[in-house]
Amino acid sequence: MSGRRTPTHACLVVCPPGLEELVADELVALGARPGRRGKGTVTVDLTTRRLYAANLFLRCATRVLVRVGGFTVRTFADLERRIGELDWDSWLAPDVAPRFRVTTRHSKLWHDGAIAERFAAALGPGSGTEASNGGPNPLIVVRAVDDRFTVSIDSSGAPLHERGWRQATAKAPLRESVAAGLLSSAGWDPTSPLVDPMCGSGTIAIEAALRAAGVPPAHDRDLALRSWPCFEPGTWASVSADVGRERREAPVPEVDGPPRIVAADRDAGAIEAARANAERAGVADRIEFRVAPVAALEPPVESGSVAGLAPGLVAVNPPWGGRLGGGDLRNLYATLGRVAAEQCPGWGIGVLVADRALARQVRPGLTEQLHLELGGRPAHWLTGRLASQTT
């Protein structure tokens, strides 16, 4: 077989721990072949086109790092020499001062600050200069393990889970990337209804509505890669055109009738925040907001048998504690399970919990889909099916 191979970049996709397999699935959907999984990381070789697409379309990722080079060194003199040998001109404009994030393990050169200084001395003319795109200065990530240094540049800029729509927060908001992961791993079909009866700032419902509308997560973000000297405007334009196609081919392109997505919370302030966020995200017309306790959980109006919609999903991130004591929490979770089964028979249910025993109050026999770490604390996403009325 002949033919030119398109050059690829060795990349590391960073994500919240627990979402690695979902990120790998998303990479496969972009035509890439994911490699090794680490805690919160997935390696993958990406063409320039796929690198741009990964930044625009990955819903579960935090950032995409691109390898600039690697070397083994044990002295600062060798480190300085090897830094000078890397091809920085492709990645850094001459007037931009990068930031450095250094970690070391089992290495002779272990002083992170001293290593960052060597990089800054070699690369940081006029430190403090703003990046030309007005965003944060480029981030260079340096990792040394057993004296082997890997030097990467961040292609994303602000973390990809910061979609830009969430300015109003309620209590304990989820990252947008985590909400997207919950929906994917529950197998939610974007044409079917969804109810979050304890929605807080609305993250799960808004991510669901964006998916139904075919809005790519980073569609209006200023990505760091756009200020690289090697940035390819033609390739970018062609990948951006895919954003338009995604929207045209959205699972639910137009809102036809009452919304299929319900976001409810007993706290009126939370609903106000959720609505403001949904408006910024451009999906407020796709969500029905309700100030209501979980005991009043109901499916969206149109999701009954009349509309003939597929059974939906109750997706919920209940409080984990706070002012609620153990007995109150158990009651709350039991009420959730009972009312969901009464109101949404045959639907799926997904519950994000810190304590698996509490999930049993909702419904016995739920299956753990994701083992996450949220704010350094283990969390479990358990899913199952609510019995249909005939059973």
Which residues between 298 and 317 bind ligand SAM (CB under 6 A)?
317
Out of 115, 140, 160, 198, point to the residue binding ligand SAM (CB under 6 A). 198
* Single-letter code of the amino acid located at 387: A
Q: Are 309 and 260 in contact (CB under 8 A)?
A: yes
First-residue to last-residue Cα distance in the chain: 58
Q: How many CB atoms lie within 10 A of CB 203?
A: 29
Q: Are 180 and 59 in contact (CB under 8 A)?
A: yes
Stretch that binds ligand SAM, among 62-70, 116-124, 131-139, 164-172 (CB under 6 A): 164-172
- Residue 271 makes contact with ligand SAM by CB under 6 A: no
Q: Tell how far CA 58 is from the center of its chain.
A: 7
Minimum distance, C-beta of residue 374 to ligand SAM, in the bound complex (Å): 10
The token pair that represents 257 in the structure block: 């009738």
Stretch that binds ligand SAM, among 129-137, 181-189, 201-209, 357-365 (CB under 6 A): 201-209
CB nearer ligand SAM, residue 173 or residue 181 = 173
Q: Are 295 and 176 in contact (CB under 8 A)?
A: no
- Residue 200 makes contact with ligand SAM by CB under 6 A: yes
Q: Write each residue from 38 to 67 as x if it is in contact with ligand SAM (CB under 6 A), else as -, in one continuous string.
A: ------------------------------
Q: Write each residue from 226 to 265 as x if it is in contact with ligand SAM (CB under 6 A), else as -, in one continuous string.
A: ---------------------------------------x
CB nearer ligand SAM, residue 96 or residue 262 = 262
Q: Are 261 and 194 in contact (CB under 8 A)?
A: yes
Nearest to 358 by CA among 386, 381, 325, 334: 334
Minimum distance, C-beta of residue 195 to ligand SAM, in the bound complex (Å): 12
d(CA 376, CA 385): 29
Q: Write each residue from 321 to 360 as x if it is in contact with ligand SAM (CB under 6 A), else as -, in one continuous string.
A: -----------x----------------------------
d(CA 339, CA 349): 12
CB nearer ligand SAM, residue 144 or residue 174 = 174
- Residue 170 makes contact with ligand SAM by CB under 6 A: yes
- Scanning the chain, the segments in alpha helix (DSSP H) are 20-29, 48-57, 76-85, 112-123, 176-185, 203-212, 233-248, 268-281, 326-343, 356-362
Site residues (vs ligand SAM, CB under 6 A): 170-174, 197-201, 203-204, 265-267, 270, 293-294, 317-319, 332
